[in-house]
């Protein structure tokens, strides 16, 4: 039974390693999510601003076209003024000229304001374009780094699964079923006993059970959490256990 207990511990160690690597492989790509969200947000804002600038430029072009027509209309009005034959015609032509000049001045002032705003927006967009490119470059570099890490983890995971399969092959069927059931219910199946206390649920074991564990002739379970238990100090003399004793942090048993 001692050999079976050692095999169960080796299996648990391998299982813990596999789960850690599987978790890492799953969580690693998610590290890029904040950066992707930032890039999407910045790109969205940039697209909106570019659309507004394009709309402004379209309006400015229309106003320039209208301004050109008004200048032509002013020339026509001035021709009428010069060709006036009487006071009435002169007055009408003069009012038309003044109206055209005022309309031209107003439109030129408005175009000037819009041009200044468009120039400022263009400068700001160029700066924000650089910011977006910077985040995009950062994301690309991060994706490359994550890909390298994921490749390494995938390789380690394949090796760890192979080691786990070898460990499972050494455990007898009856104990393998018990191990799998406990692992699915409790998170881990084998817990050390230190100074008479089960480290899986922190329950003090009955003295008689503690004495049975000392003989290492059978595999026993904790009366409370039902995990397979062993005397830590005795097994350490036989095999070198990992610092974690192949056991995750102690927890209260699930009902």
- Per-residue model confidence as pLDDT tens digits over 79-90: 989 998 899 999
pLDDT digits (tens, 9 = 90+) for 222-249: 999 999 999 998 887 665 544 444 455 4
Round to whole Å and give the CA distance between 4 and 135.
Answer: 54
Mean pLDDT of 93-115: 94
Task: Provide CATH 1.10.287 ranges for the chain.
Answer: 27-167
Structure tokens given for 84 = 């006036």
Four-way CATH pick for 27-167: 1.10.10, 1.10.3470, 1.10.287, 1.10.1060: 1.10.287
The per-residue pLDDT for 253 is 40
Average pLDDT, the chain: 90
Residue 234, pLDDT score:
87
In this structure, of 46-55, 144-153, 206-215, 241-250, the range with the lowest mean pLDDT score is 241-250
CB crowding 183-201: b at 16 or more within 10 Å, else e: beebbbbbbbbeeebbbbb
Q: Locate the DSSP E strands across 16-102.
A: none
Q: What is the pTM of this model?
A: 0.65
Nearest to 153 by CA among 31, 18, 32, 244: 18
* Collapsed DSSP state (helix, strand, coil) of residue 50: helix
């Amino acid at each position: 039974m001692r050999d079976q207990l050692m095999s169960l511990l080796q299996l648990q160690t391998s299982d813990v390693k596999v789960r850690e690597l599987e978790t890492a492989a799953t969580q690693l790509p998610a590290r890029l999510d904040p950066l992707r969200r930032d890039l999407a947000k910045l790109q969205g804002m940039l697209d909106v601003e570019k659309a507004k600038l394009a709309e402004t430029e379209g309006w400015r072009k229309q106003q320039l076209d209208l301004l050109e027509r008004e200048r032509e209309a002013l020339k026509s009005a001035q021709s009428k003024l010069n060709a006036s034959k009487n006071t009435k015609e002169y007055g009408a032509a003069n009012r038309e000229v003044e109206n055209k000049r005022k309309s031209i001045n107003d439109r030129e002032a408005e175009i000037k304001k819009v041009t200044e705003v468009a120039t400022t927006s263009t400068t700001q967009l160029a700066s924000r374009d650089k910011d977006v490119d910077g985040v995009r470059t950062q994301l690309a570099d991060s994706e490359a780094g994550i890909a390298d890490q994921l490749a390494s983890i995938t390789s380690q995971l394949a090796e760890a699964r192979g080691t786990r399969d070898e460990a499972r092959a050494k455990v007898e069927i009856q104990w393998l079923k018990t191990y799998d059931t406990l692992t699915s219910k409790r998170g881990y199946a084998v817990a050390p006993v230190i100074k008479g206390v089960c480290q899986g649920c922190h329950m003090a074991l009955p003295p008689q059970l503690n004495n049975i564990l000392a003989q290492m002739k059978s595999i026993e379970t904790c009366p409370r959490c039902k995990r397979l238990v062993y005397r830590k100090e005795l097994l350490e003399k036989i095999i070198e256990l990992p610092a974690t004793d192949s056991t995750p942090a102690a927890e209260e048993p699930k009902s």
